[in-house]
Structures are given as C-alpha cells and as structure tokens.
Chains A and B, each alone.
Chain A
Amino acid sequence: MKSIITIAKRELTGYFASPVAFVFIVIFLILSGFFSFMVGGFFERGQASLESFFAWHPWLYLFLVPAVGMRMWSEERRLGTIELLLTMPVTPWQAIVGKFIASWAVVALALVLTFPMWITVNYLGNPDNGVILAGYVGSFLMGGAYLSITAMTSAMTRNQVVAFIVSVVLSLFLILAGYPPVTNMLVSWAKPWIVEAIASFSVMTHFEGLQKGVLDSRDILYFLSVIGFSLFSTSVIVRTHRAG
C-alpha cells in the first residue's frame, strides 16, 4: 500500500512538473464551458440542470483523457526507468495501480474545478443536486474507464503518440457502440438483441443513466469492470513485454 502511494505521489509530481496536468485541466474547463453554454444551449433550455454540461463529457474525454494517460508507461519505457521501477521491491500491480490513481486524481481535480458550473445552476434556479452528484460520479467513473484503456495502450509502446491514437480509437469504439445515430443504423440490419448487446458494452449506455441521476449499480459495475479488465491487461502486458 505504501509503495502504491509513493508511486502515485511521484506520478503526480511528474504531472505537475510537466505542463500536462495544467494543460489538461485548463482545456477541459474551457471546452466544457464552451460546449455547455454555446453549443449545448445551457441557458436556452430554461431548466436548472447540468445536463448540457455532462452530455459533452464522453466526447471531451475521448481526446483529453488519452492525452493525460499516454505517458503513463510509454515514458517509463522511453527513459528506461521501467527497469528501475520493476527492479525495486514493488509488484507490477502496485506500480500499475499507483500510476493509475495518480492520473485519475488529475481527472478528478479537473472535475472538481468545474464547481462554478454547479454554483451557477444553483444560483439561477433549483436544480436536483442529487442528479448533479450522480452526473459527477458517472463522469468520474467514465474518465477512469478511458484512463485505464490508455494505461493499457501506453504499456504496449514506448511511443506516446501511438499510445494516444490507439486509445482514442478504442475509446471511440466504446462510445459509438451505444451512440444513438449508430445504434439506429445498426437496427436496420441486425436483430435488436444483438444491437442491445453491443450497446451494453458502450460507455454511452451506462453514462446516460448516471447522468439522469439514476445511480444504478449495474452502470457503476460496468465502469469498474472496464477499469479492472484494462488494468489487468496492462499488468499482463507489463509482465510479458518488459524489455522491448
């Protein structure tokens, strides 16, 4: 446990020593503001909710989260520090979890810094704060799911750009599998239960519920299992593919 914290602490200093964390947070705040106010019609809706804010998160995360996570293992490989880290008395699993927690904390910080949105809706009207909380929880979990996928791709290569692109593609897959325009198209040439099965693998399907304020354990379980599965794959990759 102590090793996990030590590694997470080091990762966090790494994030803030390089501009990665700042750039991510600032761009996330600007874009989430821009999309919910300008594109999402935050005011025009005339209702006090953060629906237009959360609706953009799957798309914002698609590019921003891989940008945060891509250095997680690629950088270790490129610098050769992976050789130091894995010959310390820590298990690969501790290293993986420590690194993951640190980058998830960066995402969490970005979310926390959107609090002016929450203040604004509360000032303008009487939103259901439970729904908003569920939205935040969902967004946080979704960020974690994307991050875990990025952790996996970044363990595969020493090249951050490759890690970024592969994880964007994988994450896009998870979005599109449940994105209404796509599912509507699929329905025309596949049986509905197949479409539904595919959609159940999508972050969209599961984020939707949380965004509406329904803290369904199945949705939470979905995100946690994406994280668990990806981190497990990461550990397999790190174990089998250390030197290359």
Chain B
Amino acid sequence: MIQVRNLKKTFGPKVAVSGISFEVKKGEVLGFLGPNGAGKSTTMRMVTGFIPPTDGEAIIGGFNIVENPIEAKRLMGYLPENAPSYADMTVLGFLNFAAELRGLSGAAQKSAVGRAVEMCFLENVLHQSVETLSKGYRHRTCFAQSIIHDPEVLILDEPTDGLDPNQKHEVRTLIRKMGETKAIIFSTHILEEVEAVCSRAIIIDRGTIVANGTPAELKCRSVSAGAISLRIASGNAREIASKLDGISSVDRTTIVSESPVAIRVFPRKNVSNNDFARALSEAAFKEQWPLLELHTEEGRLDEVFRNITLPDTKASNK
C-alpha cells in the first residue's frame, strides 16, 4: 500500500531526511523509532503530501503523492504531530467538517462520525469547543478525524502522546486491530508500544534508517539477548560466578546483585540456547545451588535503540 523510495528532504543546508526507502503492505503496522530530530515527522509529512520531497517518491495505493495528490490523499488518514485542530469549533463540528472534506454526506457522514466518536471515546465532549478540551481529549479528537473515513492507509505521528495509561492501552488495541486490514505507519518514543503493536519497526537516526526488522529481530541485536539470568537463594555471588566461568559454553558472567544472588551468564558464539541452559542447570544441580529462577533474556529494545543511536548522538555533539 505504501511504497517509499529514496525519500530526501533538505531545509536550506540542513538535511532532515537523507534517502529513506521502505514499504508497508496491507495488514502491517510499521513503527517509526528514532531520537528527537531524527526526521520521523518530516518523513511522514512527505508521505502525506504536506511537504514536497526534495528527491525520491512516495506511492500510496498506486498513486504518487506528488503527481496524483488528491487520489493518494483520499486513501489516507493522517494524525499530525501535536494533533492540531480548529480551536473555535466544537468536537462534533470539527468531525463533521473532516467527514465532509472526505466526501461523506447525509447518513454515511452521520454513521462515520458516530463510529469515530465511539472508537475514540468522545461522547462526553461532543458539544464542547476544542479549545476548552484537555490535551488528551484534543489528541483523541484529532485521532478521530484521521480514522473518520475508515482509510486504507493510516499515518499516525505519536498517536499516544499525552494520553492517560488507559487511553494509551485503548489506542494501542485499536491500532493493532485496524492494522489487520490497513497499512499503518506510526511513530512513538515508547518502546513497549512497538512491541505491543508493530509487526515491523524502523529506527531512524539523523535522516537515515539504521535498523529495520520485526520487534523480535531488533531485540536480538541487543547485547543481553540470549544471555541467561540466574537467581539463587543463597551463596557467595563471586564464587558462583567464577564456577560458572569455568563451564566451557560460558563466555563471561556479570553479577547483577550480590544478595540475593543474581547473575547474568553470556554464552559463547554458536552455542544453542538449549545446550546452554542445560549446561547451567546441570552445574547448579551438581553444586547444589538453591536455584530460584533461570531464564533466557530476550533482549531489550531500549538497549538496541541506545546502542544504535547513542554513538551518533555523542559524535554529533562534539
């Protein structure tokens, strides 16, 4: 549904996005991650046709956003960053306006507005003017606008920004559900969200894609991925660690805490997780450590995120 090829944007001498390509199919939810100023919003603005790209192209459902903007925009719903909306309108008036611009009228318009209101829990504020709404409600109003025409493609720039935990949960559930039938791109700074919602994630840093994969694949790139954590009720952490170091499949160990004893054990290369876990549990059995817990670390997205983007940030600060 969405094909982005070599998209570039420069603002004067400043390069905001330098050659981004990706594709999103129907039934996929693509997460955009990246530090502040990485170019996430700029990319979305080009994909939605708000700003023209300096180079490259974005094709939405077969329509080039620059050459056939109206057809492409018809297929898309867009929640801009900071969720702008007309302050002087009521929520209902605003949604009706959006629906009319989307070409809806009469009964279809009414049911579309009703559906969006229900999905975004706006019943209580329908007749309130947008400027008197709280931030979260304003955000939801703008979100409602983006799904009002049940679009095939959804572009959401930080859709859960400013929402309370319950609403965050609702919106994630909604995105995941809509993602089954739509092509969705959304950006976020909340990494759990990526795991909870996305089928694929892209990490952008300083205008380029630095990682692209499923959340599980990305997590595998974490240093702690594949390590095994042990928790042992009593004993001397150092002694235990040095015993573990003696095992042939162990690469190194780190002591997470002394008491209760918690140790993270990293495998050597090419050791399968099963063999590794077995070796450790056999050692524990032999040494009669009172083992409380043994589990394999999946790796953590925040670790991956920092490893990929932090060196660059530091470098650019110099």
Contacts and interface: CB of A to CB of B under 8 A. Distances in A.
B84 A243 contact: no
A78 B71 CA distance: 28
- Interface band, chain A: 20 to 34
Given A87-B76, A87-B78, A89-B74, A242 B84 contact: no
Interface in A1-51: 2-3, 6-7, 10, 13-14, 17-18
Chain A interface SS verdict (over half): helix
Interface in A79-130: 79-81, 83-84, 86-91
A17 B89 contact: yes
Contacts of B80: 80, 83-84, 87
A79 B87 contact: yes
A242 B53 CA distance: 12
A13 B101 contact: no
A40 to B, nearest CB: 37
B229 interface: no
Contacts of B45: 83, 243
A81 B69 CA distance: 18
Residue with the greatest number of chain A CB neighbours at <10 A, chosen from B48, B49, B78, B84:
B84
Interface in B27-78: 45, 48-51, 69-71, 73-74, 76, 78
B188 interface: no
Contacts of B93: 13
B85 interface: yes
B86 A81 contact: yes
A80 B97 contact: no
A87 to B, nearest CB: 5
Given A79-B86, A81-B86, A89 B101 contact: yes
B50 A88 contact: no
B51 A242 contact: yes
A118 B316 CA distance: 71
Interface string A65-87: 00000000000000111011011
B84 A13 contact: no
Contacts of B145: 84
B89 A10 contact: yes
A28 to B, nearest CB: 21
B70 A91 contact: yes
B102 interface: yes
B98 A88 contact: yes
Contact of A86 (B49, B100, B102): B49
B73 A88 contact: yes
Contact of B70 (A6, A7, A17, A89): A89
B74 A87 contact: no
Given A83-B45, A243-B45, A3 B89 contact: no
Contacts of B129: 17
B87 A87 contact: no
A89 B89 contact: no
Nearest to B129: A17
Contacts of A6: 97, 100-101
B201 to A, nearest CB: 24
Nearest to A240: B52
B51 A80 contact: no
B173 interface: no
B187 to A, nearest CB: 15
Contacts of B86: 10, 14, 79, 81
Contacts of A7: 101
A83 B101 contact: no
B82 interface: yes
Contacts of B89: 10, 13-14, 17
B192 interface: no
A182 B103 CA distance: 52
A196 to B, nearest CB: 43
Among B69, B78, B101, which residue has the most Cβ atoms of chain A within 10 A?
Answer: B101
B84 A79 contact: yes
Please list the 6 inter-chain residue pairs (A to B) with the smallest Cβ-Cβ separation, ordered nearest first: A80-B84, A17-B88, A89-B73, A6-B100, A83-B80, A89-B74
21 contacts: A2-B100, A7-B101, A14-B86, A17-B129, A79-B85, A79-B86, A81-B86, A83-B45, A84-B84, A84-B142, A87-B50, A87-B76, A87-B78, A87-B80, A89-B70, A89-B74, A89-B102, A89-B103, A91-B70, A242-B50, A242-B51
Interface of B: 45, 48-51, 69-71, 73-74, 76, 78, 80, 82, 84-89, 93, 97-98, 100-103, 129, 142, 145
Interface of A: 2-3, 6-7, 10, 13-14, 17-18, 79-81, 83-84, 86-91, 242-243
